Amino acid sequence: MTTGASRRNPYVDVLRGLCILVVMLLHYALAYRLHDSPLNRWVSVDTLKTIFFNGNYGVSVFFVISGFLITLNTMRRYGDPRDTDIGHFYKLRLFRLYPSVVLALAIITSLGLAGWTRFVNANPHTDFGDGFFVLGNLSVLTFWHNLLMQRVGYFNYAMNVYWSLSVEEVFYLVYPLLLVFVRRRGMLIALALAGVVAAPVYRAIHRDDELFFMYGNLACLDMLIYGCGAAVVAERARLSPKVRQGIALLGLIAMGWVYMRGIGGHEAWGATQIGLAAAVFLVAVHHLPARRWARRTMAPLAWLGSHSYELYLFHIIVLGAIQQALPKAAMTATLKLPVLILFLALSALVAWAVARFYGDPLNRLLRRRYARRTRGTAQRAVPAGEDVLARQDPG
């Protein structure tokens, strides 16, 4: 029998680890101008800015991975995606995502009410007040936080990064409905093609406003579709390990090239290109065996990837607390790298603790108690290692 551990794909975890790392570097660089540090003795300032300030591409790749994993897990759980148990699907998403985000919002709200500057509801133009926590928290928990940001602008430093959860959750709400009720495969393909065309057009129209071309539901739709399509192709592709390795390397190089070219000037099609490259990579690494030495080499990034959801939620809280203790004006160039290491270490520790002692146990408990399948003849055995798959689920 296949064990849960063996069902994990270390290459997917490594890609997620790279994505969360560039996101964390982006937020740290925005807080403390990391390019103005001892790093510029070895690397040019322009190159450092490119590395640090294009981290939003990491979120784009996250969306591709989410579409890929949610489609793979759907096929494993239900067989034909058209037999998806919608209620069961929603419960699994709820139990995986909600406990940790509720905890994160509770911490942000508490620190904001205590007056910590990076957690209050204010921007340079408007003080929204403590009462805005009700609307802000509600928008995160009911999946329209990105729309609220488009309406009022950035309003809470720590909470605003959760826009991507709204994009994913809206997708998770609609996706199983399409699988079940749009029975014709040709219609699903037509809808997918419409999405991959509409998204870059939308980004082109809104290229001057990042609240739209980055954070809009339609702006991110093609990334999710590429991931779904990659999962379908990956299950059917019959490639030798050497061919897979070659294609995976090309996909990784393509992602790196698009990333280093930057977002500026490529608002419409840059995400398309990095999304397609990520999809190619995911198809290539599907069923690609990793030797023991490779697993050991990739272990740190793979660990980050396996905790990417908790890191995404809580790294911004850690960074906000560091800024409270060490304001930007007090940060010296020589302190930036040691504080960066502290930030990464503390974020990893908090993410591990939340997953180990809160998120994962509660997820397992809720799944055992409330997410049993009852569809009779349509029911399939839960895949081996379901709890491990839950950690590799999107989020």
Check if the beta carbon of residue 120 is closer than 8 Å to that of residue 112: yes
Q: With b meaning 16 or more CB within 10 Å and e meaning fewer, what string describes 248-284?
A: beebbebbeebbebebeebbbebbbbbbbbbbbbbbb
Q: What is the DSSP string of 278-346?
A: HHHHHHHHTT----HHHHHHHHHHHHHHHTHHHHHHHHHHHHHHHHHHS-GGG--HHHHHHHHHHHHHH
Model confidence pLDDT, tens digit, residues 178-237? 999 997 899 999 999 999 999 999 999 999 999 999 999 999 999 999 999 999 999 999
Using pLDDT thresholds of 50, 70 and 90, give the confidence band for residue 391: low
Task: Give CA–CA dist 313/351, Å, rounded.
Answer: 8
Question: In the 8-state DSSP scheme, what is residue 267?
Answer: T
Specify if 11 maps to a domain: no
| Whether residue 383 has pLDDT greater than 90 | no
Residue 152 resides in a domain: yes
CA dihedral 88→361→282→69, nearest 10 degrees, is 10
Number of other residues whose CB lies within 10 A of the CB of residue 292: 7
> Does residue 236 fall inside a structural domain?
yes
The predicted-structure confidence for 311-365, as pLDDT tens digits, reads as follows 999 999 999 999 999 999 999 999 999 999 999 999 999 999 999 999 999 999 9
C-alpha pair distances (Å), 100 with each of 129, 177, 242, 369, 394: 25, 26, 40, 18, 14
Question: Quick check: is 37 in a domain?
Answer: yes
Q: From 333, 382, 349, 324, select the one nearest 33 (Cα to Cα).
A: 333
Quick check: is 319 in a domain? Answer: yes
Domain contains 3: no
Report pLDDT digits (tens) over 149-172: 999 999 999 999 999 999 999 999
Taking the C-alpha atoms of residue 16 and residue 307, their distance in angstroms, rounded to an integer, is 9
Q: Which residues contact 296 (CB under 8 A, 6 or more apart)?
A: none
- 242 with 272: CB under 8 angstroms? no
> How large is the average pLDDT for residues 118-145?
97
Residue 112: both structure tokens together: 């904001």
Asked whether residue 9 is domain-assigned, the answer is: no
Sequence-distant (6+) residues with CB within 8 A of 215 are 146, 149, 150, 163, 164, 167
> Considering all CA atoms of the chain, what is the largest pairwise distance in Å, rounded to the nearest integer?
65
Structural domain boundaries enclosing 242: 25-392
What DSSP designation does 206 have?
Answer: T
**How many distinct structural domains can be found in the chain?**
1
**Is the full-model pTM beyond 0.75?**
yes
pLDDT digits (tens, 9 = 90+) for 60-69: 999 999 999 9
Site of tokens 């994160």: 104
Classify residue 2: in a domain, yes or no: no
